[in-house]
Homo-oligomer: A and B are copies of this chain.
Amino acid sequence: MKDSVTITIPSHPGYLSMVRDVTARFGEIHNLSEAVIADLKLGVDEACSNVIKYAYRGATEGEIVITLRIMGKDLEVIIEDEGVRADPACIEGRNLDDVRPGGLGLHLIKRAFHVYEFDEGRRSGNRLRLVRHLR
């Protein structure tokens, strides 16, 4: 089975559920466990939420392009936008012991994925690469 799908959605929170559906189906098609699928759904959702909040600053007419693929023993997710450039140095989750609203998303992304890296060579917008090692 060829193992790549791409979905393009508006940068509107109403479409996050669709991204979760696609992620879950992708996981099912590739026989991942329910627990792994739950983590992946949440991780991809949080990464797309951050694109809406930070790259598009809440504007809902942007585009988010999400590609899921299997590369050998890895599941790779690429999330692209044409919004404001992220400064990877400023991206940091909060200390989980310091309970306050916010600052949890990054932890949930990193719970699901072993690699979280921005493609720095890109001219405009952002390209985030997430990798989960499957075995």
Question: Which chain B residues lie closer than 8 Å to A9 at the CB level?
Answer: 5
Q: Restricting to A1-37, which residues have a CB under 8 Å from any CB of B?
A: 1-10, 12, 14-15, 17-18, 21-22, 25-26, 29
Q: Which of B4, B7, B26, B61 touches A2 (beta carbons < 8 Å)? A: B61
Question: Which chain B residues lie closer than 8 Å to A2 at the CB level?
Answer: 10, 12, 60-61
Q: Dominant SS at the A interface? A: mixed
Asked if A29 and B7 sit within 8 Å, CB to CB, the answer is no
Shortest Cβ distance from residue A79 to the other chain B in the assembled complex, whole angstroms: 15
Q: Which of A8, A17, A18 has the most CB of B within 10 A?
A: A18
Q: Once the chains are docked, how many angstroms separate the CA of A8 from the CA of B2?
A: 12
